[in-house]
């Protein structure tokens, strides 16, 4: 345990030291991520530079973190300015202030997101260039030959060398300059030295191999011009020549390095779009309503789709934005502006910089992809007691339920976006259905909608006055189905529905003009209804419901009588209510109403979050449950005269709260606007998402938008909002807004939106992995590697052919088993060995046929006597048995010693008897020579009396004095003398008996008659053996050790020599006694003589008594 504790402490110490060593890296990484965090689209403020007249000649680029960088000209000070947004703030730097510099600024970011700027030095009439290396800015003059540098456009190569196109004003030429790594190279491309007036509005972009492509205006001919270098020479084309075209030219290259242009048609004052497909030139009008197209700019997204921005002169000089999918979709994005620049981020969302003509400021706008649809127009609804609900399905498709009182028919309507249809006049197509009809007045007030796991809609709604019930409707494959949940006067006027984890509905509802709050649950066959606790106060309005992951209900509501925000949840056995939800973090005037409009969500931990209005609808609060209290935030983004309602709450993917609401500036304009934003709870900052439609900050504005607003977030955290647009009393339209701009079209109905479908018109194909024009379903080699998919282990591997050692279709760089032998490369000693599964004895990934050490024992096969046996490698005696297994490694005739007696089994007559040490049996009589008294006589083995005559031939085998029969054929019975009348003999008998039987005082049992008969025949032999054995024991310690299995080497490690000798002496004495008694127990007479030796009667035989015994035995043998 102590060792384990020490090891544990050591490991902890090592871990802490490692942590200390890397902590600076971690901290620096966190600092960097904080300072360069990705930007949520639409979060940035629009006014960047507002001091003096500033912001002309803007140029914008978005970096890899989706943060915008802008270069521009400060008119007030005559300086070149650069600014970057870091996620929270704009950081403004004066790049060059030496004279009047900065007009015609053009910005590009290199592969490290460092800025490079080309610009015009007005004071010196030079082309200048500035770049930032990550630490410092460097400025230099590129060309000073005449008046040069206007209409500059820059790009940088992969090796960060800049390329610039620009105008030579002195000679009216187009010029081009590039840095080759050591010096600048300048050249004139077009113009004929003043003969032609060219080079205005130059726009440059490098292709995938760093070759320049340039668009520019030919003022002499009134044409759009295009030049490019193919690596060997320059090519010049007239891209479009009809009418006076080409002003404000802007170029972008698609993924195939083919150019697309936008330019201004001076004659017809239109915005034009020209493309080259590699063979033909095509031009179309993007916008022709009024004077449109000046200051145009183009950028191409990752789908090769164009995004453009331009000025609409006849509409107050507003900036317009166009995006082409199947057709051009145009919208206004802000008030009047010029010097427009556009870029797209990694999500293909547009970012704009421009000069605000009215305020003479630099402005920035990120187009979040906002889009507004009019779901239905010219319908009747109750502007005070209407109902509208929104839900987003798993494919981010919106579903909207709403009250429809058109034509006096009280109806609940439902609409969903038709993802297969093409837009009509810029609007998406919605499928509208009737859920229920012939209802009473105010039917559908404060209705609610939710979707189940199959994206099927479920709606709760009030049946209307005169019907007086809460109803429930759902849609399945057969259509809509309706049922009454509960009945009562104006019961269900307010309702909220959620679908639980079992796809069953749960509904909270209340009534108008009554202190009622009820809850209904459907179990799959019937409804269960109960009151939500004891009621206090009055009407429960503004009711909203949320379910936790465990289907625990949480409710928020407004109590009409108490004028307070209420909250309720179910504890598992009863309802728990708070009738006055409030937070010390908010400056709430308790005398004013709060919570008239609330919404509630539950986070992953089961904690509720609530948004609500307070202080008589002039403020918005956000609450989060913290144990028994509520933490609060003031969402103070309102105008001075705000009067808000219809608050909505959603938690985004990071569980930051996002909110929307309707705001009526009841004093200043009496307009109702819809607003959307999010709160970063870590920083405490409110992140406003620019909705990017009309002219007021952070709103999409109309005379009366936002009634009964409902908001949801999709899987990308994009906002979807549905609301009523009141046009006249109780009359208007249902509107839908999303900041996920791109409409979801599915032309072929295969369930894949067109923008994700490589074959939008072919329902059997959606993807083309290798880009060969053949859909993956029909393509039998999806990765175009030459191995058909049926035989390809990596059918969607690295595209094209490449090294594939085992020919399995997986290139070696992606193959985890290059030789396909079943061993992963990281554990394969022969990772590109023989292919396929084969014999591999040591499982090292090398087939035996190629393995230099088949058995993996570390000995090469050529040096291994046993190459397929990991336990053997040497055979010293060459007998075919390895030394590790050979008991006799140096004896070719022996390998085993079964009985462990040191004699090999091949030489041991008794190989399984360790007590019989035998060598060869010379006479073959079955008795080994060591035990055979006559080893050369097969007829004799024993000589009991030692007279030299074998027992088989000896008539008196136990009498050494006689071996033949006397003349009278009698046998002399003289064998041994007896000790008569000797008291010592009795004592000896007792001692022997005690030793043999383990009893102290018992007398020795007399021998049986058989023992006595055998005694005479065996006595001499026994005596001889006893004496020989004793002498062996007495004279040879090594033999005794070997005989009894003791190892002398072990004794050498035993400490205490004296104790060891005593123990050995004691053991020897016991062994002697035990051995002799075992051999004497069959000889009564010898036993009696043994016992008689205990002369002193102490029960033990001393050394002297034992010596006397030996003399007796010798005397006995002589007789």
d(CA 962, CA 194): 158
The verdict on residue 1042 lying in a domain is: yes
581-603 pLDDT per residue, tens: 999 999 999 899 999 999 999 99
pLDDT of residue 97: 97
Residue 963 forms part of a structural domain: no
Q: Report yes or no on 327 lying in a domain.
A: yes
User: Among 468, 545, 445, which residue's Cα sits nearest to residue 505?
Assistant: 545
Question: Is the per-residue pLDDT at 779 higher than 50?
Answer: yes
- Considering the domain architecture, whether residues 83 and 228 belong to the same structural domain is answered as yes
Max Cα separation, the chain? 170
The residue whose two tokens read 């509409």 is: 315
- Mean pLDDT over residues 74-102, rounded? 92
pLDDT at 194 over 80: no
Residues 317 and 403 placed together within one structural domain of the fold: no
Span 604-628, pLDDT tens digits: 999 999 999 999 888 899 999 998 8
User: Is 181 a domain residue?
Assistant: yes
Among 197-206, 727-736, 1106-1115, the least confident range: 1106-1115
Phi and psi torsions of 990, nearest 5°: -65, -40
Which of 69, 48, 55, 149 shows the shortest CA–CA distance to 115?
Answer: 69
Same domain? For 704 and 600 the reply is: yes
Greater confidence (416 vs 920) lies with 416
Q: Final residue of a domain: which of 366, 390, 423?
A: 366
User: Does residue 362 share a domain with residue 428?
Assistant: no
| Residue 1026 near residue 1073 (C-beta atoms within 8 A) | no
Q: Which of 738, 753, 784 is the last residue of a domain?
A: 738
Q: State the pLDDT at residue 696.
A: 29
Which of 716, 738, 760 terminates a domain? The answer is 738
Do 53 and 95 fall within a single domain? yes
Dist CA 218 CA 390 (whole Å): 54
In a domain, 937, yes or no: no
Q: Are residues 988 and 1109 in the same domain?
A: yes
Quote the number of domains for the chain. 3
Instruction: Phi first, then psi: give them for residue 154, nearest 5 degrees.
Output: -125, 150
The span from the CA of 328 to the CA of 990, in Å, is 128
- Whether 136 and 224 map to the same domain: the answer is yes
Are 540 and 566 in contact by the 8 Å Cβ rule? The answer is yes
By the 8 A CB rule, do 933 and 939 touch? no
Could you tell me what percent of the chain has a pLDDT over 90?
43
Assign 23 a pLDDT band (cuts: 50, 70, 90). very low
Tally of CA atoms within 13 A in the half-sphere of 1039 that contains its CB: 9
User: Residues 356, 461: one domain?
Assistant: no
* Separation CA 660–CA 677 (nearest Å): 6
Same structural domain, 413 and 540? yes
Q: How far is 706 from 1045, CA to CA, in rounded Å?
A: 104
Q: How far is CA 593 from the centre of its chain?
A: 48
Q: What is the pLDDT of residue 641?
A: 66
690-699, 728-737, 1075-1084: which has the highest mean pLDDT? 728-737
| CA–CA separation, 216 and 263 (whole Å) | 10
Q: How confident is the model at residue 489 (pLDDT cuts 50, 70, 90)?
A: very high
* Domain presence at residue 254: yes
693/1098 Cα distance (integer angstroms): 125
Output the pLDDT for position 789: 86
The Cα 244–Cα 246 span in angstroms is 7
CA 569 to chain centre: 35
Give 676 or 175, the one with higher predicted confidence.
175
pLDDT at 1023 over 50: no
pLDDT category, 1059, cuts 50, 70, 90? low
Q: CA dist 1042 to 449, 1046, 1048, Å?
A: 98, 6, 9
3-state secondary structure of 988: helix
Residue 1028 located in a structural domain: yes
Query: What's the mean per-residue pLDDT of the chain?
Result: 81
- Domain span at residue 470 reads 371-738
**How far does the chain reach from its first CA to its final CA, in angstroms?**
73
Is 397 found in the same domain as 351?
A: no
The CATH number of residue 644's host domain is: 2.120.10.70
Q: Which residue has better confidence, 626 or 166?
A: 166
More confident residue, 822 or 388: 388
Instruction: Give the model confidence (pLDDT) of 813-866 as tens digits.
Output: 888 888 888 888 888 888 788 888 889 888 888 988 888 888 888 899 889 889
- The CA angle 796-798-803, to the nearest 5 degrees, is 125
**265-274, 872-881, 976-985, range with the lowest pLDDT:** 976-985
Residue 934 belongs to some domain of the structure = no
Statement to judge: residues 417 and 356 lie in one domain: no
Phi-psi domain of 17 (left: phi exceeds 0; alpha: psi -120 through 50; beta: other): alpha
pLDDT at 309 over 60: yes
* Nearest-10 crossing angle of helices 1009-1035, 1103-1118: 120
Place of tokens 């209904």: 520
Q: DSSP string covering 700-750, please?
A: EE-SBEEEEEEEEE-TT--EEEEEEEEEETTEEEEEEEES--S----TT-S
1097 and 1015 belong to one structural domain? yes
How far is 153 from 131, CA to CA, in rounded Å?
14
Each residue's pLDDT tens digit, 315-342: 888 899 999 977 898 887 767 889 999 9
User: Which DSSP category does 230 fall into?
Assistant: -
**633-686 pLDDT tens trace:** 887 665 566 778 899 999 988 898 999 888 876 444 556 677 888 887 676 766
């Amino acid at each position: 345990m102590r060792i384990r504790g020490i090891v544990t402490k050591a490991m902890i110490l090592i871990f802490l030291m490692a942590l200390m060593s890397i902590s600076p890296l971690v901290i620096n990484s966190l600092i960097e991520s904080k300072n360069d965090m990705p930007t949520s689209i639409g979060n940035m403020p629009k006014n960047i530079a507002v001091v003096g007249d500033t912001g002309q000649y803007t140029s914008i680029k978005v970096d890899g973190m989706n943060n915008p960088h802008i270069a521009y000209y400060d008119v007030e000070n005559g300086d070149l300015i650069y600014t970057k947004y870091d996620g929270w703030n704009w950081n403004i730097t004066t790049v060059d202030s030496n004279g009047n510099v900065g007009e015609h600024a053009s910005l590009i970011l290199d592969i490290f997101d460092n800025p490079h700027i080309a610009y015009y030095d007005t004071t010196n009439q030079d082309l200048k260039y500035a770049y930032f290396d990550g630490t410092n800015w460097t400025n230099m003059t590129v060309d000073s030959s005449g008046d040069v540098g206007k209409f500059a456009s820059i790009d940088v190569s992969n090796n960060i060398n800049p390329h610039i196109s620009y105008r030579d004003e002195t000679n009216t030429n187009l010029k081009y300059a590039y840095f080759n790594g050591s010096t600048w190279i300048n050249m004139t491309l077009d113009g004929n030295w003043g003969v032609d007036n060219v080079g205005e509005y130059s726009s440059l972009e490098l292709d995938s191999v760093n070759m320049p492509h340039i668009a520019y205006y030919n003022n002499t001919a009134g044409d759009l011009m295009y030049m490019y270098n193919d690596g060997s020479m320059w090519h010049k084309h007239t891209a479009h020549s009809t009418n006076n075209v080409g002003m404000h030219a802007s170029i972008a290259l698609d993924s195939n390095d083919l150019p697309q242009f936008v330019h201004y048609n001076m004659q017809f004052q239109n915005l034009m779009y020209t493309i080259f497909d590699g063979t033909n030139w095509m031009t179309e009008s993007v916008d022709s309503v009024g004077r449109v197209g000046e200051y145009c700019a183009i950028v191409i997204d990752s789908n090769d789709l164009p995004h453009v921005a331009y000025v609409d002169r006849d509409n107050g000089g507003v900036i317009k934005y166009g995006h082409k999918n199947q057709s051009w979709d145009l919208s206004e994005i802000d008030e009047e502006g010029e010097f427009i620049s556009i870029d797209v981020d990694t999500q293909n969302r547009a970012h704009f910089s421009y000069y605000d003509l009215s305020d003479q400021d630099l402005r920035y706008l990120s187009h979040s992809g906002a889009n507004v649809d009019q779901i239905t127009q010219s319908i009747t609804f109750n502007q005070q007691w209407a109902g509208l609900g929104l839900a987003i399905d798993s494919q981010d498709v919106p579903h909207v339920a709403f009250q429809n009182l058109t034509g006096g028919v009280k109806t609940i309507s439902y609409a969903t976006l038709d993802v297969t249809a093409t837009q009509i006049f810029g609007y998406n197509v919605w499928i509208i259905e009737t859920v229920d009809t012939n209802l009473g007045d105010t039917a559908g007030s404060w209705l609610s909608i939710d979707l189940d796991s199959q994206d099927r809609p479920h709606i709760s709604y009030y049946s209307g006055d005169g019907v007086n019930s809460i109803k429930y409707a759902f849609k399945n494959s057969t259509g809509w189905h309706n049922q009454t949940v509960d009945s009562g006067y104006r019961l269900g006027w307010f309702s909220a529905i959620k679908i639980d984890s079992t796809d069953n509905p749960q509904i909270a509802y209340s009534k108008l003009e009554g202190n009622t709050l009820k809850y209904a649950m459907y179990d799959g066959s019937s409804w269960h209804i109960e009151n939500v606790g004891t009621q206090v106060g009055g009407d429960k309005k503004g009711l909203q419901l949320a379910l936790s992951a465990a289907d625990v209900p949480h409710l928020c509501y407004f109590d009409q009588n108490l004028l307070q925000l209420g909250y309720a949840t179910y504890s598992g056995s009863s309802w728990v209510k708070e009738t006055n939800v409030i937070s010390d973090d908010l400056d709430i005037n308790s005398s004013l109403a709060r919570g008239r409009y609330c919404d509630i969500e539950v986070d992953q931990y089961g904690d509720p979050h609530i948004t609500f209005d307070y202080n008589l609808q002039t403020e918005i609060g956000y609450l989060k449950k913290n144990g028994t209290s509520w933490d609060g935030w003031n969402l103070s983004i309102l105008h001075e005269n705000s009067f808000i309602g219809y608050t909505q709450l959603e938690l985004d993917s990071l569980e930051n709260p996002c909110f929307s609401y309707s705001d009526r500036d009841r004093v200043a304009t009496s307009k109702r606007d819809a607003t959307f934003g999010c709160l970063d709870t870590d920083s405490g900052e409110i992140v406003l998402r620019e909705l990017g439609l009309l002219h007021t900050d952070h709103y999409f504005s109309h005379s009366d938008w936002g009634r009964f607003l409902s908001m949801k977030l999709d899987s990308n955290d994009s906002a979807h909002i549905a609301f009523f647009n009141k046009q006249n009393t109780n009359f208007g339209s249902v509107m839908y807004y999303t900041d996920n701009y791109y409409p979801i079209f599915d032309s072929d109905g295969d369930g894949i939106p067109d923008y994700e479908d490589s074959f939008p018109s072919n329902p059997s194909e959606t993807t083309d992995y290798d880009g060969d024009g053949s859909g993956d379903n029909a393509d039998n080699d999806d990765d175009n590697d030459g191995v058909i998919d049926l035989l390809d282990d990596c059918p969607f591997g690295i595209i094209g052919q490449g090294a594939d050692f085992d020919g399995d279709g997986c290139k070696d760089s992606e193959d985890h088993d290059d030789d396909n032998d079943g061993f992963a490369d990281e554990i394969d000693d022969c990772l590109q060995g023989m292919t396929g599964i084969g014999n591999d004895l040591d499982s090292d990934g090398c087939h035996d046929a190629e393995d230099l050490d088949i058995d993996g024992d570390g000995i090469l096969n050529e040096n291994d006597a046993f190459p397929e046996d990991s336990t053997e490698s040497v055979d010293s005696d060459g007998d075919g048995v390895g030394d590790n297994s050979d008991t006799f490694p140096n004896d070719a005739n022996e390998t085993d010693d079964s009985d462990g007696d040191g004699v090999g089994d091949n030489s041991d007559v008794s190989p399984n008897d360790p007590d019989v040490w035998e060598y060869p049996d010379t006479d073959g009589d079955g008795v080994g020579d060591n035990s055979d008294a006559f080893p050369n006589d097969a007829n004799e083995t024993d000589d009991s009396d030692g007279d030299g005559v074998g027992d088989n031939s000896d008539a008196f085998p136990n009498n050494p004095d006689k071996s033949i029969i006397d003349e009278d054929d009698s046998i002399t019975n003289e064998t041994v003398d007896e000790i008569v009348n000797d008291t010592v003999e009795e004592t000896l008998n007792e001692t022997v008996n005690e030793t043999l039987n383990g009893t102290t005082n018992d007398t020795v049992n007399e021998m049986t008659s058989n023992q006595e008969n055998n005694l005479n025949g065996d006595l001499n032999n026994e005596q001889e053996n006893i004496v020989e054995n004793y002498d062996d024991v007495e004279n040879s310690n090594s033999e005794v050790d070997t005989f009894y299995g003791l190892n002398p080497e072990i004794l050498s490690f035993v400490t205490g020599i004296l104790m060891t000798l005593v123990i050995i002496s004691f053991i020897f004495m016991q062994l002697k006694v035990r051995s002799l008694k075992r051999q004497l127990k069959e000889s009564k007479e010898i036993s009696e003589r043994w016992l008689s030796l205990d002369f002193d009667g102490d029960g033990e035989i001393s050394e002297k008594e034992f010596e006397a015994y030996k003399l007796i035995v010798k005397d006995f043998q002589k007789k």
